[in-house]
Structure 1
C-alpha cells in the first residue's frame, strides 16, 4: 500500500508542476466571426425627364460612380407605376419584364473612374407622364 501512496503523491506533484489534469479537458472556445459591414452602393443613378407631352416623355439617366474604386460595369433598375412603354433606348442595354426595367451599361460606357459618369436615355409612351423615376444602381 505504501507504493500506492508514493505513486499518488508523485502523480499529484507532477500534475501540479505541469498544470495538467488526468480528467477530460475543456475545449477552447472558438472566437465568433466579425460581422461584415454591408457594402455601400458603388453607383448612384439620377433620372431627369427632359421633355414631356400628352402621351409620352424623354428622360436621361445619369450614372455616377460613388464607390471607392473604378467600376467595370453598372446596372440601373426601376419599376413602372402605370402603362409606360419604352419605344427607344440609347446608351445602355435594356431588359424589361412586366413593370420591372433594368438597363446595363453598353460596351463603351461600362468603365467609370471615381466620380465618373455615364448617361443613357429613353423615349417612353404612356397615358400619364410620371413626375420622375425612382432608380437603384448597382455594380
Structure 2
C-alpha cells in the first residue's frame, strides 16, 4: 500500500527529502539529553540561536558536533573506566545522538563546552528574495 502524505501533493516539487528528514526526526525524539533553544538576537542581517545541551560528565573529546546538509547532529560517547569500583552508580555512562533539522541557509557558527553545557551557535541570515524572468521559446 502506498503512503499518501502532504509532501506528495503535485504542487510541492522536490520536497520529498523533507518528508524523509521529518520521519528520521520523529524516530529520534528521545528525551536524553535535555536541551534548550534560545533566540539570542535579531540583527539587520539575520538572527542567531543558541542550542544548549546538558552534557554533564562528558569531556570535549567525548562529544562530536556535525553539520551535514540541513541537519545538526550531536553525539556523545563516554568510555567506561574499568578501574573504578562503584558502591552506588546513579550517573550512567550513556551514549546519545541528538539531531536538529536546520532550515535552508542556516549556518552552524561554533560550539563551546562549559559548566556541563554544550552551547552551539546557529545563525540564520535574512534571505533575499530572488525574482527571475523566464524567457518563453517558440517551437515551430
TM-score in terms of structure 2 length:
0.34
Q: Taking CA–CA contacts closer than 8 Å with sequence separation of 6 or more, which of the two structures ends up with the larger relative contact order?
A: 1
Query: Which structure has the bigger radius of gyration?
Result: 1
